[in-house]
Amino acid sequence: MSKPLIVVTGKNGQLGWEIQQLAEAYSEAFEFLFTGRDDLDLSKPETIAPFFKNHQPDYFINCAAYTAVDKAETEQELAFTTNAESVGLIAQQCALVNAKLITISTDYVFDGNGTSPYTIHTATNPVNYYGHSKWMGEQLALNNCSQSIVIRTSWVYSVHGNNFVKTMLRLMNDRPELKVVADQVGSPTYAADLAEAILKIIVSIERGNAHYGVYQYSNTGVISWCDFAGAIGRIAGRETKVLPIASVDYPTPAKRPSYSVMDTSDLVRDYGIELKGWEESLGKCIKLLG
Ligand SMILES: NC(=O)c1ccc[n+]([C@@H]2O[C@H](COP(=O)([O-])OP(=O)(O)OC[C@H]3O[C@@H](n4cnc5c(N)ncnc54)[C@H](OP(=O)(O)O)[C@@H]3O)[C@@H](O)[C@H]2O)c1
């Protein structure tokens, strides 16, 4: 009997790359097809149906996204096509071939005005266009494929790709002092942990335990960007001083939510996913970065 096929988009992004690192460990049970922009370009929605003519996945993990949060303010059409329209078409195709869709969304669907962790029932209200496009993508996935799982995540970093952890380490190489915003708090996510959670969800579905809809995943714990930068320096043994500043002193084209913490308990309840603390996972990543 042939193994279930898992198609993964965004193979060169942080999350897609981390799933690739785990694929070998799951290769007895699953076949994997990792795709990059050259194989399936989400800015060209017309290429999605032909892709599904050539490949009939059992699971489709969509890690590809337009993730340039500030640029999305001026490239709204491209962000919408990539993060929403194409996700809807992927969902339609998944429904046609009876594939399960796992697509990744963001804490930026919330406005940041909360004071306690957002649940999947908390009203969404994105404050920037990237968040809006991802929210549209969520709706289009859920409306077009009943076997869709949307996983919202936040503050993602990995040894691979561009992220806050690597930027801080680079800046700490030659700066005695760094100023980092202290009035935005959230929960970091090590992409390797999320990759493992996604594959565990698929294993669970294969064993007959399937739940669809919106889920949220991050490492546990709440921290500001400033304190996170401080922890990065401390764990990596850097001397750089990290000083707090307010968001108003670090203006960006896209507004960021100030409180970005999500309730992740549904994944624990439905799929038995074990959540890891942000500090432990940050330590692992920094160790790998050497
Ligand atoms: N990074 C975060 O802090 C964060 C926070 C919350 C949610 N998320 C969500 O988590 C998911 C994974 O994010 P990530 O951090 O792994 O993102 P990432 O590192 O920026 O990777 C995104 C990937 O999407 C690909 N991509 C962009 N446009 C594409 C297109 N038109 N067609 C095909 N592929 C395209 C990129 O390809 P190229 O390599 O060719 O550019 C890249 O490989 C995304 O859904 C993102 O929205 C991320």
Ligand 1 pocket residue status of 137, Cβ below 6 Å? no
Ligand 1 atom with the shortest distance to the CA of 41:
32
Is any atom of ligand 1 closer than 6 Å to the C-beta of 109?
Answer: no
Rounded distance between C-alpha atoms, residue 84 and residue 45, angstroms = 10
37 located within any domain: yes
Average pLDDT, the chain: 97
Q: Is 182 part of any domain?
A: no
Q: Which two tokens stand for residue 228?
A: 């996170």
Q: Is the pLDDT of residue 107 over 90?
A: yes
Cα of 274 vs centre of ligand 1, distance in Å, is: 24
CATH number of the domain encompassing residue 212 = 3.40.50.720
> Which residue segment(s) compose the domain that 78 sits in?
5-156+188-219+261-275
Q: How far is CA 257 from CA 163, 183, 272, in A?
A: 18, 10, 29
Q: Closest Cα partner for 284 from 18, 13, 10?
A: 18
Pocket test for ligand 1, best of 81, 103, 156 (most atoms within 8 A of CB): 156
pLDDT of residue 141: 98
Atom 42 of ligand 1, residue of closest alpha carbon: 13
The answer to whether residue 123 is domain-embedded is yes
Question: Which candidate, 189, 186, 48, places its Cα nearest to that of 118?
Answer: 186
Ligand 1 centroid to Cα of residue 1, in Å, is 33
Task: In whole angstroms, give the CA distance from residue 254 to residue 72.
Answer: 8
What is residue 1's predicted lDDT score, i.e. its pLDDT? 74
Q: Is the CB of 42 under 6 A from ligand 1?
A: yes
268 lies in some domain: yes
Q: Say if ligand 1 is within 6 A of residue 153 CB.
A: yes
Total domain count for the chain? 1
Residue 71's pLDDT is 98
Atom 45 (ligand 1): residue with closest C-alpha?
A: 104
Confidence (pLDDT) at 136 = 98
Q: Which atom of ligand 1 is nearest to the CA of 156?
A: 3
Q: Is residue 228 part of a domain?
A: no
Residue minimizing CA distance to atom 17 of ligand 1: 13
Instruction: Convert 217-286 into a string of H (helix), E (strand) and C (coil).
Output: ECCECCEEHHHHHHHHHHHHCCCCEEEEECHHHCCCCCCCCCEECECCHHHHHHHCCCCCEHHHHHHHHH
Strand order of the β-sheet with 223-224 is 223-224, 185-186, 259-260
Does this model's pTM top 0.85? My answer is yes
> What pLDDT, in 10s, does the model give residues 162-171?
999 999 999 9
Q: In Å, how far are 28, 186, 279 from 138, measured between CA atoms?
A: 31, 21, 29
Report the chain's C-alpha Rg in angstroms. Answer: 19
DSSP for 29-40, written as a single string: T-EEEE--TTT-
Name 32's bridge partners: 6
16 — alpha (psi -120 to 50), left (phi > 0) or beta? Answer: alpha
Annotated catalytic residues are: 130
Domain assignment present for 178: no
Query: Over 90: is that where the pLDDT of 253 sits?
Result: yes
State yes or no: pLDDT of 3 exceeds 90. Answer: yes
Of 27, 129, 35, 48, which Cα lies nearest the Cα of 94? 48
| Protein residue with its CA nearest to atom 14 in ligand 1 | 14
Using a pLDDT cut of 90, give the percent of the chain over it.
99
64 C-alpha vs ligand 1 centroid, how far in Å?
Answer: 4
Q: What is the pLDDT of residues 76-94, one digit of tens each?
A: 999 999 999 999 999 999 9
Q: Is any atom of ligand 1 closer than 6 Å to the C-beta of 37? A: yes
Q: Is residue 71 part of a domain?
A: yes
> In the prediction, which pLDDT does 265 show?
97
pLDDT at 84: 98
234 is a domain residue: no
